[in-house]
Structure 1
Amino acid sequence: MEYGTSWVGATAKQISRAVRRGDAPATQVVADHLEQISISDPSLHAFRVVRGGEALSEAEKVDDQEDLAGLPLAGVPVAVKENTAVAGLPTWSGSAAVRSAAVAEEDHEVVRRLRGAGAVVVGVTRMPEMGLWATTDDESGATRNPWNLDHTPGGSSGGSAAAVAAGLVPIAQGNDGLGSIRIPAACCGLVGLKPGRGVVPCRLGVNDWFGLAENGVLTTTVADSVLGFSVLAGRPPAKLVEPSKLRIGVSTRSPVVGIKPDEANLSAVTTASKLLVQAGHDTVATEPRYPNALGIGVLATWFASAAIEADSLDDLSALQPRTRRHIQLGRVARRSGLVRQAQRDGWRERSINFFSDKSVDLLLMPALAAAPPPATSYSDTSWRDNMSVNMRYAPYAAPWNVAGLPAIVFPVGLRPDGLPLAVQLVGPPDSELLLLAVAGQFEVLNPWQRHAFV
């Protein structure tokens, strides 16, 4: 790509390389993306706030630096999820109950690292209230999937996923407490890595959802995911190494009793299995055993996380009815002793041992069980309806938050209706780069369409 053409659609690596070499000014790159946001976001509702003038000023500061060699994201426009502090803005967390929150005086650590790498924050993206749901909407409307505006981009990092899939930014920050990076990645045909516990600073809310939450990025390529992960982890940009022959377990069993993947998601696992063999790996059918107590513990922790966050609010009446119900159940779960660190520790140990006991290096499974649901006002519907929608289409992510293990979602094709299809790979601790390397093999063998331009 040469300067003089729009930089919309370029990868983060392409942009940063061009800016570092002086082939394109950061101001032009950012201006191109701000223009695209103004064109596309009215139909997507991906952004809560766009930092037009501020972003251009920050881009000018990048251009003014004499030495850009040490900036792996030089001039790259990025978006930040609205529950992550950006200096000069309130941290809304998707809720009208905190719209009057104080302006953040400093960036969250992951935002600081992005900016320190030369990235320019063009805006903050929408999420469901308190990050509780796998769909993204509020009283102002629903965020929509660029591949089909009638469907959700997922949640809770739905705005970030929609922005990347539409080419409004090449990379966006998100966080994942029970699947909130991986579910939107699957819905929008993106690469979404949830790092393992403690690899990237989290520091969200009161207690990081009892340690279940992790920060990460959404991208259109594995190379950009590697770059974003390296920056957030405070590491030099990693270079992937071609993995040696792996033994990869394949599972389609849903962690939620009674939920089964549809034919399209089963076919995605079949396709992925064949590609793994083509890449030189061995696959073996193996099913993790999800104990009933795990499901109860996940629900209790989900509810209790909402209750703890709500303790800092003076007036709960501004919260959505579904959220208030979640909080009520969370208070019951805490009083009843259903939120247990020992149980979470036990599942983590069991999950780590699974890889050695079954002699597998990674575990492959569906990313979703069904198509992304319609984009509608779930915030106006009952708590029960929200629970049903969330659990029926996205049951595969949560166990790996409880285990604190790294997991990645990436595209493998399209559904018959034209929406993206994806699979999930899970690995033992410290396997982030291995997961990315295997995803990179998929990208070479089965290239995916990177954007759904609106």
Structure 2
Amino acid sequence: MTEPVPNWVGATAKQIARGVRRGDTSATQVVADHLEHIGSRDPLIGAFRVVRGGEAATEAEKVDEQHDLTRLPLAGVPVAVKENTAIAGLPTWNGSAAARGPIAEADHEVVRRLRGAGAVVVATSRMPELGLWAVTDDEDGPTRNPWDLTRTPGGSSGGAAAAVSAGLVPLAHGNDGFGSLRIPAACCGLVGLKPGRGVVPPPPESDGWFGMAEHGLLSTTVADAAIGFAVLAGRDSAKLTEPSGLRVAVSTRSPVSGIAADAPNRDAVTAASRLLIAGGHTAVAKDPVYPVSLGLRGLATWFGASWTEVSNRGLEIGALQRRNRRHIRLGKIATRRGYAREADREAWRDRSIAFFADNGVDLLLTPALAATPPAADGWSGRSWSANMLASMRYAPFAAPWNLAALPALVVPVGVRPDGLPLAVQLVGPPGSEMTLLAVAGQFELAAPWQRHAPSVFPAVR
């Protein structure tokens, strides 16, 4: 596909907002450009559940009518919102018709903050039912990775990642309960930050996910990630200060026994270590201690989170996908027997925070994935065990940091031999979100990545 794309498709959120504020373009024009691009490309990818064509155009006009655009950091920027997050006037789909909630009467706080910053919600992005899996598909079909349409974009924020990677929007909202932002970011070559606990207003189901889920955004650049994080966190400034002299622990050890990162993902960590050293930091080999009990607690928490959410919302288990029915029933057992204990999660959090202090390190560098993303098709109709094995085998590195409620970020560092993106994960102690972004910014300056999937979107700015 070599035909040119409209002017503002492919631009960064920062470029768009600056253009709208200066009067170089209008929010109306930017949104029209993106809606045209969505119409031609999303049928290939399946990133969106609902496209808000007319409503988005009206919202864009309202942005253009504002007298003071200088205070809007996302003026006219088209964004997508994950379909498990309330948007006034739309049902909250949660990944399937069986899990769909009623029409929302008001926006969730993070949606309100995005709109308050001048962003225009053009669509809701797809996710697997209840957000339980690291693949994104349902009975309507799969969401496809724009880098390779036969592969998944990850999950559960897979629709969001596919949309940004294909240039359908420059910025997409998602949330991360067990890696649901960082896994898709790694699959699609994007920047994805999971904030630490208490930094961004949590999902309304956070009690069901035991407070582990965090809202965040997916972007093609670190600058966009920083602006988006500042908006969601209610901060005035997105300015990054270049860090120097950090000590970074480097580990390729998998948290899941019997699963190891493949050669390309190990090579990605080596490449990232070199970037750290070139940036004036120190890289030291140091593995976190992942006790066997951590895996058992993680599984119990994953199961229990699904049961608690379904129970709290009064969903009919028999109407849900069969892969999820077993997961939920295991969650009922885990919850009633007390296997998903807050005390265990807090103990792991304390141990994780102590890792940084005890070893004199500022950050931890790990692989983002263990293997190439699985095929896109058919997961919603497969067994629970097939979904479990697929998700755990290729994406074991994210979940510990939800259990610990620590900030973690995924940043691209190259391309696999099969042509899919490579990425690494950076983890930090509480309050280190801006440091993580700043280090990722150093990576971007030293080794810029392909911002969009070349197979779908060859024209890149």
Tell me the secondary structure at the aligned position of residue 215 of structure 2: strand
Letter in 1 for 2:39: S
User: For residues 64 and 112 of structure 1, do their structure 2 counterparts lie closer, same or farther at Cα, with a shift above 3 Å needed?
Assistant: same
CA contact (8 A) 2:99 2:129 kept: no
Tell me the CA shift for residue 306 of structure 1. 0.8
Q: How do 1:375-394 and structure 2 match up within 5 A?
A: 375-394=376-395
Partner of residue 237, structure 1: 237
Letter in 2 for 1:409: V
Tell me the CA shift for residue 203 of structure 1. 2.8
Q: How do 1:50-449 and structure 2 match up within 5 A?
A: 50-99=51-100, 101-205=101-205, 207=207, 209-311=209-311, 312-449=313-450
% same residue: 68
CA separation in 1, counterparts of 2:370 and 2:316?
37
CA contact (8 A) 1:325 1:383 kept: yes
CA separation in 2, counterparts of 1:66 and 1:334?
53
CA contact (8 A) 1:96 1:318 kept: no
Residue correspondences, number: 450
Tell me the CA shift for residue 97 of structure 1. 1.0
Tell me the CA shift for residue 244 of structure 1. 1.8
CA separation in 2, counterparts of 1:241 and 1:289?
31
Tell me the secondary structure at the aligned position of residue 450 of structure 1: coil
Tell me the CA shift for residue 313 of structure 1. 2.7
CA separation in 2, counterparts of 1:80 and 1:297?
30
CA separation in 2, counterparts of 1:117 and 1:96?
31
Tell me the CA shift for residue 5 of structure 1. 5.6
Per-residue CA deviations over 1:278-337 (Å, capped at 9, x if unaligned) read 111111000000111111111011111111111123522220001110110001001211
Partner of residue 12, structure 2: 11
CA separation in 1, counterparts of 2:40 and 2:6?
17
Where structure 2 has 5 or more consecutive residues not aligned to the other structure, the ranges are 457-461
Per-residue CA deviations over 1:395-431 (Å, capped at 9, x if unaligned) read 0000000111100001000000100000000000000
Letter in 2 for 1:392: R
Tell me the CA shift for residue 208 of structure 1. 5.0
Letter in 1 for 2:57: L
CA separation in 1, counterparts of 2:236 and 2:258?
44
CA contact (8 A) 2:6 2:37 kept: no
Tell me the secondary structure at the aligned position of residue 41 of structure 1: helix
Letter in 2 for 1:290: Y
Tell me the CA shift for residue 204 of structure 1. 2.8
CA contact (8 A) 2:99 2:130 kept: no
Tell me the CA shift for residue 237 of structure 1. 2.9
Tell me the CA shift for residue 132 of structure 1. 0.2
CA separation in 1, counterparts of 2:315 and 2:246?
53
Partner of residue 38, structure 2: 37
CA contact (8 A) 1:72 1:237 kept: no
User: For residues 357 and 51 of structure 1, do their structure 2 counterparts lie closer, same or farther at Cα, with a shift above 3 Å needed?
Assistant: same
Provide the TM-score with structure 1 as the length reference: 0.98
Partner of residue 48, structure 2: 47
CA contact (8 A) 2:249 2:363 kept: yes
Tell me the CA shift for residue 172 of structure 1. 0.3
Where structure 1 has 5 or more consecutive residues not aligned to the other structure, the ranges are none
CA contact (8 A) 1:152 1:373 kept: yes
Letter in 1 for 2:249: G
Per-residue CA deviations over 1:177-234 (Å, capped at 9, x if unaligned) read 0000000000000000000001000133261500110000000000000000000000
Tell me the secondary structure at the aligned position of residue 156 of structure 1: coil
